[in-house]
Amino acid sequence: MKVGVPSEVSPGELRVAATPKTVKRLLKQGFEVFIQHDAGVKANYSDKEFEEAGAKIVPAASDIYGNMDIVLKVKEPTTEEVGMMKEGL
């Protein structure tokens, strides 16, 4: 199963729904993990740290919402984000 972590879009939100440590845990459980480019910057995690943990970096939120089986977010998805989700998510 594919797990995706998009950037948070809520004003003032500095958190990200996964850390490099949680990426490693998800991978051990058999998930593929995808992180939106710069999703962790506000939380002081670089794309390089996520890649070193085993995640794949994707360029845009649409790559997460349109292709993942599970989406991890801190805040509820916006109407725009829901519109990008694949059927059944």
pLDDT digits (tens, 9 = 90+) for 29-85: 999 999 999 999 999 999 999 999 999 999 999 999 999 999 999 999 999 999 898
pLDDT score recorded for residue 86: 78
Asked whether residue 89 carries a pLDDT value surpassing 80, the answer given is no
pLDDT score recorded for residue 6: 97
pLDDT score recorded for residue 35: 98
Which pairs from 74-82 meet CB under 8 Å and 24+ separation? 74/8, 74/10, 74/13, 74/15, 74/16, 74/17, 75/8, 75/10, 75/13, 78/9, 78/10, 81/6, 81/9
pLDDT score recorded for residue 14: 96
* Structure tokens that stand for 33 in this block: 């993990």
Distances from the Cα of 87 to the Cαs of 5, 9, 17, 22, 83, in angstroms? 18, 22, 22, 26, 10
Nearest CA to 4 out of 48, 41, 37, 45 is that of: 37
pTM of structure? 0.92
pLDDT score recorded for residue 62: 94
